[in-house]
Structure 1
Amino acid sequence: MAHNINFNEQTGQHSFFSVKQKAWHGLGQIVEDYPTSAEAIKFAGLDYTVEKRPLFTVDNGYLNKDDELEHSEIEVPNYFATIRTDSEQVLGVVGRDYSIVQNRDAFSFFDAIVGGDGMQYETAGALGNGERIFITAKLPGYIKVGSDDYIEKYLFLTTSHDGSGSITAAFTPVRIVCQNTLGAALRNSSNTIKIRHTANAEERLKVAHKVMGISNGMADELDGIFNQWAKVRITDKDVMKLIQQAMAPSKEVLKSLKTGEELSTVFKNICDNAFMYAMASPTQQTETTKGTLFGAFNAITGYFQNVKEYKDDEAKVKSIIGGTGQLRTQAAFDLCLGYAKSGAEALTLN
């Protein structure tokens, strides 16, 4: 699997750190203890700043007295280049209203969420030339399912310096026994918040507290839901039905499931792999997962986290946090809510 971790030529190191465990790509710095935000910035090679500078093009040129072609610069109105100041690399092109969020500001945002206390920075790094950074941090406390199944509470933040997207913060519960991200939106709320780069520091601080409120609320609600699901029994046949409906990429596929029409080989392989994970993975043999609705939900998240192959780590993160993985996880979550209420009827296609 490829990676896109930035290599900092000034330091001769990759811009990534993790606590205690090596990432799959084996790059960056491994530290023994959770660092402060100031330490994490240095460990991850994120202690650089970004500037917004005028953007220029040139005219068609003219011949000077020596018959040499000369050009005059023309400033491009309302557009700017974002420049990494330590290496003078161009990271992107942005508009007039774009506000740079420095890497230290992204960590300050996290510190503000819990008042600088209890935030445990676990990984951070930069991708490409440093145009995108990411941070994961562990919040205090756990969600406990059954007597010995613990889910840690994480926040994930990513922001870019190239104008390609918003600042994104997401609450991501992670089941310790298999490191599955169990993120799902509850009712009408979302586990993901996007902040415009045009927002000022005061607005971002308000959002920080909103993120913490959502995280605490979702953790409390998920605690009750997951513990209920761990007591709901589900047959293998219904597990496969749930997987097929959650993984269905379109209404046409759902219609084919209802009518019994032939399904594509690709779709069948996806469902078979998720079902195999549900039945055979050691993490699915615990008291809370074996033959339970919680185990069926964990099979979907486990497929995207541990089975599916991705082009690179960035593609995996995008899928799980805001792409196909998140959509399928949400579909599974909604189906499980229905199953907890009305049993197998919830999997009847109308």
Structure 2
Amino acid sequence: MAHNINFNEQTGKRSFFSVKEKAWHGLGQIVEEYPTSKEALQFAGLDFQVEKWPLFAYDPKGLSSDEQHIANRFATVRTDNNTVLGVVGNDYSIVQNTDAFSFFDAIVSGDGMQYETAGALGNGERIFITAKLPGYIKVGSDDFIEKYLFLTTSHDGSGSITAAFTPVRIVCQNTLGAALRNSSNTIKIRHTANVEDRLKEAHKVMGISNKMADELDGIFNQWSKVRITDKEVMKLIQQAMAPSKDVLKSLKTGEELSTVFKNICDNAFMYAMASPTQQTETTKGTLFGAYNAITGYFQNVKEYKDDEAKVKSIIGGTGQLRTQAAFDLCLGYAKDGANALS
């Protein structure tokens, strides 16, 4: 799987840093202590500015030397190497990398959050930050889930700032990405440099993450005590992975399913049955293990085009949709048993 981590030709380094442990791609700078936001920007190669430059059109055949100004359209350019990152409209406001870190600093202050990773993808058009919240979720006697905030933003006009709460299971580094009823684990922030808006959204994210952590603690501990058969695990996986109502209907009527869909379900089921992380007291034969098998499939089994595609799937894409479906099915199973899967 391609990593798509930006290579800075001026420094000769990849634009990525991680605290203490290497990422799966083995690239970037590894630091021993949690850095400040200023240090994290430097370690991750994100200490560059982005500007909007006017766009001009010219005759590629060279028959005319005239340049035509393109009204209300601009190129976003990183000023350290003059690389064009994207094309945006007149109303687009650049959110500098330092502003993205300021968003986190508003939460970090006095609350014990620590920067874990940060980096840039492509030519630097997309950046990401992961910071660890204080405390953890404890499932059973020896299964600990740490709490993280993840933020990504772009400089090419492709989207707003996206911030998400993501619990990570220490044992297998499996992103759970749980979605709770009546709340969201992801928010989007428009491109603005207004400090007041940043603080307001920062507090909103913090509130979501704290509420979610408290609810997840109770839910996951309940699920770790609910037994589920292998046959029911497969049925849960199939229903959670179903890409459409037609596939769900085929599952219930016993109609033939596509080979691609069957392979996806088989791979998730194999992860549920064979992964070492699925053999613990809290996961083996439990509803929590069944849920963890689906989140584990998207984090550890499914192949992606590159690292950015993986992030997009898990946060806001297909991975999150299927995880949401699994979460809802598990809530139903905890309440009604196998009837929830009929």
Q: TM-score when scaled to structure 2? A: 0.97
Letter in 1 for 2:33: D
Match of 2:265 among 248, 271, 289: 271
The 5 Å alignment of 1:48-67 reads: 48-58=48-58
Q: In 1, distance between residues paired with 2:258 and 2:282?
A: 33
Report the Cα offset of residue 74 of structure 1: 2.6
Q: In 2, distance between residues paired with 1:257 and 1:155?
A: 36
Give the equivalent residue in structure 2 for 1:15.
Answer: 15
Match of 1:204 among 198, 218, 226: 198
Report the Cα offset of residue 117 of structure 1: 4.4
Q: In 1, distance between residues paired with 2:234 and 2:225?
A: 19
1:98 aligns with 2:108: no
1:123 aligns with 2:117: yes
Q: Which has the larger radius of gyration?
A: 1
Q: TM-score when scaled to structure 1? A: 0.95
The 5 Å alignment of 1:54-203 reads: 54-58=54-58, 69-115=63-109, 117-198=111-192, 200-203=194-197
**The 10-residue stretch of structure 1 (307-316 or 154-163) with the greater mean CA deviation from structure 2:** 307-316
Give the equivalent residue in structure 1 for 2:35.
Answer: 35
Q: In 2, distance between residues paired with 1:109 and 1:340?
A: 38
Letter in 1 for 2:14: H
1:327 aligns with 2:321: yes
The verdict on how the C-alpha distance between 1:45 and 1:299 changes in structure 2, with shifts beyond 3 A counting, is same
The verdict on how the C-alpha distance between 1:58 and 1:258 changes in structure 2, with shifts beyond 3 A counting, is same
Q: Secondary structure of the equivalent of 2:162? A: strand
Match of 1:227 among 221, 225, 239: 221
CA RMSD in angstroms, aligned pairs only: 1.5
Q: In 2, distance between residues paired with 1:56 and 1:121?
A: 40
Report the Cα offset of residue 81 of structure 1: 1.1
Report the Cα offset of residue 129 of structure 1: 0.8
Structure 1: which 4+ aligned runs deviate by more than 4 Å? none
Give the equivalent residue in structure 1 for 2:290.
Answer: 296
The aligned length equals: 342
Give the equivalent residue in structure 2 for 1:65.
Answer: none
% identical equivalent positions: 88
Letter in 1 for 2:264: I
Report the Cα offset of residue 114 of structure 1: 3.1
Report the Cα offset of residue 13 of structure 1: 0.5
The verdict on how the C-alpha distance between 1:247 and 1:60 changes in structure 2, with shifts beyond 3 A counting, is closer
Q: Secondary structure of the equivalent of 2:336? A: helix
The 5 Å alignment of 1:209-288 reads: 209-288=203-282
The verdict on how the C-alpha distance between 1:270 and 1:59 changes in structure 2, with shifts beyond 3 A counting, is closer
CA contact (8 A) 2:169 2:176 kept: yes
What is the CA deviation profile of residues 250-288 of structure 1, one whole-angstrom value per residue up to 9, with x for unaligned ones?
A: 111111100111111111111111111111111011111
Q: In 1, distance between residues paired with 2:192 and 2:92?
A: 5
Q: Secondary structure of the equivalent of 1:100? A: coil
Q: In 2, distance between residues paired with 1:3 and 1:178?
A: 20
**The 10-residue stretch of structure 1 (178-187 or 7-16) with the greater mean CA deviation from structure 2:** 178-187
1:336 aligns with 2:330: yes
Q: In 2, distance between residues paired with 1:115 and 1:36?
A: 11
CA contact (8 A) 2:120 2:127 kept: yes
CA contact (8 A) 2:111 2:134 kept: no
